[in-house]
Amino acid sequence: KNQVEQSPQSLIILEGKNCTLQCNYTVSPFSNLRWYKQDTGRGPVSLTIMTFSENTKSNGRYTATLDADTKQSSLHITASQLSDSASYICVVFLLGDMRFGAGTRLTVKP
């Protein structure tokens, strides 16, 4: 069983709409949590990084939240654009290790 679970597996939204992606993890000891965006056939690119003490981190239209008590994180995308179509991967960095979620495939349609 993957120790970093992402939901939904895939999502289709209309351009301009907002969406929220979820990441639940069970691993520890926690160091930090990252959200990556991966375009098809490309390497992942870091969007946000949050440490244990941070609850929210924004990067433009992307806002990540973290609840270290419940071990849940979310990535909220505001006013989606066609270029947001990609896979979004949640990665939990432990002390000396890391665990990857399987990703959420987001498709933004005009």
Q: What are the residues binding other proteins (CB under 8 A)?
A: 2, 4, 9, 31-32, 34, 36, 41-46, 49, 89, 91, 93, 98-103
Please classify residue 100 by burial: count the beta carbons closer than 10 Å to its beta carbon, then call 0-12 exposed, 13-18 middle and 19+ buried: middle
The least CB distance from residue 61 to other proteins, in Å, is 21
The least CB distance from residue 101 to other proteins, in Å, is 5
The least CB distance from residue 107 to other proteins, in Å, is 15
> Cα(98)–Cα(63) distance, rounded to whole angstroms?
22
- Between 15 and 24, name the residue whose CB sits nearer to other proteins: 24
- Between 4 and 77, name the residue whose CB sits nearer to other proteins: 4
- CA nearest to 33, candidates 96, 105, 99, 108: 99
- Between 76 and 99, name the residue whose CB sits nearer to other proteins: 99
- CA nearest to 87, candidates 32, 50, 60, 47: 47
